[in-house]
Structure formats: structure tokens, C-alpha cells
Amino acid sequence: MSDAIADAKRALRAELRERRNMRSEQARAEAAAGIREQLDALVERHGARSVSCFLSTSIEPGTREFVEGAVARGIRVLLPITRKDGLLDWTVADPELDIADGLFGQPEPVGELLGPIAVNDVDLMIIPAAAVDESGTRLGWGRGFFDKTIGSMERCPPVYAVVYDSEVLDELPRDLHDQPVDGVVTPTRTMTFTSARR
């Protein structure tokens, strides 16, 4: 990664994190309700019976209501668990949804560990992002877990990143290893990009 791209990403992440930290509890709750509505519609549109989704932190657009609702409707939801080698293990979400601090202090589920290839069976991937641009470029938080996962999949299903409305940007810095997404979900809309991948 060139120094210029790395520096641009670092600065943007810091700015976006600060903006997220300034959101009120009410704004976060409203955003979570909107995210659930958009994700429910996306799952229905894709006819997905099995999805992967992340457990949102306190400052991310909320995904927990969506996960709980999907599990209650009989959809198989795989949740990621970080590993020291940069890969992700997975576990199946259940109604009790036990949560503990993960490798980097973020919330992660407690459950039977499935290996990294478990995600190959899902119909739809829902992943975190700091921002997404209108060409499908995703800015993650810099650890590369989801870029590695998507890049290693033989038959990758549609991948949608979840961000706040203000985090859909015109253009983002992009490096060779950055995996584009097929679409983006915000509290008020879902966008699908026609030429991001494949």
C-alpha cells in the first residue's frame, strides 16, 4: 500500500470514528430501526435463507435487532469471530445470543466455532464498513478481516456493507487488496452497484 493511500485512509477513519462517537443515543436507536427494515427487505429480495452478519459495536449502525429478528424467523445467521491469524471463524446465532469481548475488544458471539470456510454456504454477506463510495469501494477499519474473507471465497455471494447515510461518499482511496462490495445499506436506503465485483 502506498504511503499516500495509507495516510488518506488513516485520516478518513479517524474523522469517521469521531463523527460516529458524536451521535446521540436517540439517533443510534433510530438508525438501528432503519437498518433492520432495510436488511429485512434485502434478505427477502434475495430469498436468503442463510446470511452472515456482524454484531455492531455501540457506535456502528445497529445490526442486533436485525440478527435477532432473522433468527426468530428461522434464517440461519453466521456471526464472525476474529482470529489472531487475520482470518474469521464463524458461529451460528441463536435466540440467547451470548456475547463476550473479542480479540480487539469488540462484541463477539460465544458459541460453537465453525472454521473460516463456513461462510461459503451463505446466500448473502452483511459486513461492517467505515464508509463506502458510489463505485462500491469499501473503507474498512484497517485490519483486513473482511477483505481477506471475500478475496478467498470461491463463489462469493452478494456482499453489502452497512454504514450511516453520511458515510456513502463520492470517492474513497483504494488499494489492490481492497475488495469492493455489491451494495450498501444505510438507515434510509439500500443501493446496489452494478459493476463493483464479478
pLDDT higher than threshold 90 for residue 169: yes
Amino acid at 124: L
Average pLDDT value over all residues in the chain:
92
- Tens of pLDDT along 26-46? 999 999 999 999 999 999 999
Burial degree of 195 (CB within 10 A; 0-12, 13-18, 19+): exposed
Lowest mean pLDDT among 9-23, 76-90, 97-111, 179-193: 97-111
Percent of the chain clearing pLDDT 90 (strictly above): 75
| Residue 195 confidence (pLDDT) | 61
| Residue 98 confidence (pLDDT) | 80
| Band of pLDDT at residue 23, cut at 50, 70 and 90 | very high
- Tens of pLDDT along 78-132? 999 999 888 999 999 998 878 877 777 777 888 899 999 999 999 999 999 999 9
Q: What is the DSSP string of the chain?
A: --HHHHHHHHHHHHHHHHHHHT--HHHHHHHHHHHHHHHHHHHHHHT-SEEE-PPP-TTSPP-HHHHHHHHHTT-EEEEEEE-TTS-EEEEE--TT--EEE-TTSSEEE-S--B-GGGGGG-SEEEEE-SEEETTS-EE--SS-HHHHHHHH-SS---EEEE--GGGEES-----TTPPP-SEEE-SS-EEE-SSS--
pLDDT: is 166 or 99 the higher one? 166
- 13 with 139: CB under 8 angstroms? yes
The CATH classification number of 3-192 equals: 3.40.50.10420
Q: Say what the pTM is.
A: 0.93
| Residue 105 confidence (pLDDT) | 72
- 146 with 180: CB under 8 angstroms? no
| Band of pLDDT at residue 198, cut at 50, 70 and 90 | very low
